[in-house]
């Protein structure tokens, strides 16, 4: 059971949610994004968000990104959730994330790290006000860790609420503005 009296994840910064396995980090992510029911209240800009509001306002990059790939090409995947304002940035984003030249490839034919960067890119283009990254560095080499951090920083600079769940201390040191450390009730 997840029991959080209150927590503040400010827009415009990256909040890392840390703690041991099984303590509720992914549960919190699912609640924040509206994927899981709960008894508490989630607010954005002083307004209570219903579960439906949270589904509409958020994007999540899950640990198992293959469950988030729906189209038959990398470019189509990015265009699927992009806003009219972000569509022109697809080519530059592909290049920045080391995916240039792969636009016509099927997303499931990509390596695990490429799939991870594709889903992160889709979250960047989504225009959502809440973006959760759940272990975004799995399957990603050190060279691309900086591009992932840049995406998170860009989102925060755009005033997005960015939540990062990670055990990767290097990523946490690069990206985190504040931490929310969850612990078991017995600790």
Map out the domains of the chain as residue ranges: 14-181
Place of tokens 């549960």: 27
In this prediction, residue 63 carries a pLDDT of 87
Q: Do residues 138 and 66 touch, judged by C-beta distance below 8 A?
A: no
In CATH, what is the architecture of 14-181? Answer: 3-Layer(aba) Sandwich (3.40)
Q: Which residues of the chain have pLDDT under 50?
A: none
d(CA 87, CA 18): 33
Cβ pair 71, 118 in contact under 8 A: no
């Amino acid at each position: 059971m997840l029991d959080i009296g209150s927590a503040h994840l400010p827009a415009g910064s990256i909040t890392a949610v840390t703690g041991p396995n099984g303590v509720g980090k992914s549960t919190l992510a699912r609640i924040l994004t509206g994927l899981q029911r709960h008894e508490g209240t989630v607010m954005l800009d002083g307004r209570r968000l219903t579960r439906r509001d949270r589904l509409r306002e958020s994007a999540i990059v899950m640990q198992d990104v293959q469950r988030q790939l729906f189209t038959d090409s990398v470019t189509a995947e990015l265009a699927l959730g992009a806003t009219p304002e972000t569509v022109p940035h697809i080519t530059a984003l592909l290049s920045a994330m080391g995916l240039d030249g792969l636009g016509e490839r099927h997303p499931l034919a990509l390596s695990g790290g490429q799939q991870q960067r594709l889903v992160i890119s889709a979250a960047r283009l989504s225009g959502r006000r809440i973006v959760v990254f759940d272990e975004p560095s799995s399957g990603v080499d050190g060279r691309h860790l900086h591009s992932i951090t840049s995406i998170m920083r860009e989102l925060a600079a755009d005033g997005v609420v960015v939540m990062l769940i990670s055990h990767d201390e290097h990523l946490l040191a690069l990206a985190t503005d504040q931490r929310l450390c969850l612990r078991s009730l017995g600790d």
